[in-house]
Amino acid sequence: MKVFKFGGASVKDADSVKNMTSIIEANISDQLVVIVSAMGKMTNAFENILQKLIDEEDYKEALQYVKDFHFGIISDLGLAGNQQLNQEINTDFESIHHELDRFSSSMGYDFIYDQTVSYGEILSTRIVAAYLNTRQIKTTWLDARKMVKTDNIHRQALVDWGATQNIIRSQVSQYADRSVVLTQGFIGSNAKFNTTTLGREGSDFSAAIFATSLNAKSVTIWKDVPGVLNADPKKFDDTVLFDQLPYKEAAEMTYYGASVIHPKTIKPLAQKGIPLYVKSFEHPEANGTLINECVIPNLAPAIIHKGKQTVISFKISDFSFINEQHIHLIFEHINRNHLTINLMQNSAISFTICMDDNPVKREQLRMALKDDFLIYYNEGLEMITVKNYNQSTIDNLIKGKQIIIEQRSRNNFQVVYK
């Protein structure tokens, strides 16, 4: 059995869906579980609808755009006469209306986010499944919300691995021998059957969840890039394609912000020794990048850029030294607010963190700690991490930049700058 994951760019329009279908057709001899994301930029579109709801603005036009987008792809794929598909899609939009109508501030943004934005994946997979079946590729649509069980933390749910693996094995085994199994990335549900999500771009992680549950032969993530590059070609020149990467190297790259793979994807695959391929859906014949247990000497420096960073510094008002109790208190509230630290630095009288800019959670953190610390922050910053660095690479990257924080170890270099 193999697991394929197709992201939003690979199903952004009818031609893309047809291309994805060709890739599946070429691999039909294998048992396939296919994980599909929301189409194109539909996650962003759903987030826009939700923001209008929060801001008490009229969201009906934005929702109609989403509906027209999906029905446009249905028409372009020649599925307009598929009564079952049309009924399913219309029912989904009725459910979306219901979720938006019942929204109240007491529910919390993260809860209503999961109940609405998750429909991007549901709509996408219904359309793809219907099209595959018209191409004589027998396909079974399964609802990931009924298989991936999580805790109650919305937008960053933690997987209940025991329950999830048992359900996936039971459900998929009923169909895998006689059809392609198609399901959604990014989404699951908690014990109360409320929809949860696994974090932005979490469909890669979904592929790893299904692969480890099913002891898959491999996972392939189909992207709009040739594989894992040592830097983002949109931001850096002369990028290099990694033909092969060790699990450890790939895991560290994702931790520091490499966006080609979701950070949680590598660990479960490494624990079971399941190889991960990152390949181009535009050139499926190319080898891409293989991530597995291996040793690769003299890897090229990997350059990872993160924008929209905020640096927050905590100081004691009477210039006392920062001690372990102070740091424990800071981390306690960081954990409560589900914040992720990208870099931290400790000095005698201050403790500084760098995190993705989130004004709401930043203010929550400030309010929680304002009685214990003097708190300062700089926003609108950028961060670069270089793994396996050399001095010439660093000199080239920091030239002309105003450095806020700089750190280096034997293998890693990090800088936060304006």
Closest CA to 8 of 168, 172, 200: 200
- Give the CA-trace dihedral at 239, 259, 279, 271, to 10 degrees: 120
Residues 139 and 302: their CA atoms lie apart, in Å, by 39
* Angle between helices 359-369 and 324-336 in degrees, nearest 10: 140
Q: How far apart are the first and last CA of the chain?
A: 48
User: SS3 breakdown of the chain: % helix, strand, coil, rounded to 5?
Assistant: 40, 25, 35
Taking the C-alpha atoms of residue 376 and residue 366, their distance in angstroms, rounded to an integer, is 9
Q: Which two tokens stand for residue 129?
A: 């499944």
What phi-psi label fits residue 407: left (phi over 0), alpha (psi between -120 and 50 degrees) or beta? beta
Alpha-carbon gap, residue 261 to 269, rounded angstroms:
13
190 contacts 111 by C-beta, under 8 angstroms = no
> Which of 137, 249, 244, 234 has its CA nearest to residue 182?
137
pLDDT in tens, the chain (418 residues): 999 999 999 999 999 999 999 999 999 988 999 999 999 999 999 999 999 999 999 999 999 999 999 999 999 999 999 999 999 999 999 999 999 998 887 788 999 999 999 999 999 999 999 999 999 999 999 999 999 999 999 999 999 999 999 999 999 999 999 999 999 999 999 999 999 999 988 999 999 999 999 999 999 999 999 999 999 998 999 999 999 999 999 999 999 988 889 999 999 999 999 999 999 999 999 999 999 999 999 999 999 999 999 999 999 988 789 999 999 999 999 999 889 999 999 999 999 999 999 998 999 999 999 999 999 999 999 999 999 999 999 999 999 999 999 999 999 999 999 9
Contacts of 59 (CB under 8 A, 6+ apart): 49, 50, 52, 53, 100
Domains of the chain: 2-223 (3.40.1160.10), 302-417 (3.30.2130.10)
